[in-house]
Each structure stands twice: as structure tokens, then as C-alpha cells.
Structure 1
Amino acid sequence: MLPIDKEQQARLGLELATKRQEHADLDAAIHTLQASGLADVTLIQRLKKRKLALKDRITQLERILLPDIIA
């Protein structure tokens, strides 16, 4: 993987923080909807799918920003 400059690192770090917050917000929303018992199953499925996509992006960003160090 090519090294990234400080500007790219800062931009990706900000995106990572944003995605983590969005992921946590979706998790809370899903739990609240499920606990209410009134939520549409399709809506919950869509939110879970979005949450999974966010998790995938978070993993990508973490791999870019925190590469494995071979000891």
C-alpha cells in the first residue's frame, strides 16, 4: 500500500470518526425500534444493512490508517 500524506490521513481520520459515530447512532436506533415493538421489520432490516455497510467502511479505513506492522 502506498504511504499517505498528512492531509489524506487527517481526511480519512475524520471520515473514520464520522462513520463510527453514525454506526453507534444506528445501533442505538435499531435497539430502540426493536424494544418499542412497533417498528416495521423492513425498516429495521434496512438500518441493519446500512450499519453493516458502515462497519465494512470502518474496517477499510482502519486498515489504511493503522496498517499491520510486521515484527
Structure 2
Amino acid sequence: MAVDIILPKLGFSMTEGQLAEWLVPDGGQAVEGEPLFSLESDKSVNEVEAPASGTLRIIKEPGETYEVGTVLGTIE
């Protein structure tokens, strides 16, 4: 069963964030609780942990700004 990777809301007023970089390559093995991608918001850069373990399928490319709740990829 695939798990969606969504752009999280890291602050009260956050509405969007920039996907800075994937820390696991497309097709690579994500490990639940380990850093999966870097997210830049207005005030900081954060590493976001994988919500599950499995094979990463990237949907959205780094360097772009996306709204909170956008599906960035899946873990199968």
C-alpha cells in the first residue's frame, strides 16, 4: 500500500514551502523516521522524515515552491 508524502505545515502561518532537495533518490529505499527531504520555509530549512519504509517514487522536483498539503511523492 502506497503512502503519500505531503508537504507539511511547519509553522502556524506557513502556506507554502520550497522543496530544497530529496535526500533519498527516486527508486531508493526510504526508512521510516530517517530524513527524506529538505524543506525551506520563510524562516528556516528543515529535514522532513519519511512517514514509512519502502521504495520512494518522486513526483515533484526540488527547487520549486509548493503549497502545504501537496503530494511530493509516494513510498511503496
Bin of the TM-score, shorter chain as denominator length: under 0.3
TM-score, normalised relative to structure 1: 0.25
TM-score, normalised relative to structure 2: 0.24
Considering fraction of residues, name the structure with more helix. 1
Considering fraction of residues, name the structure with more strand. 2
Larger Rg: 1
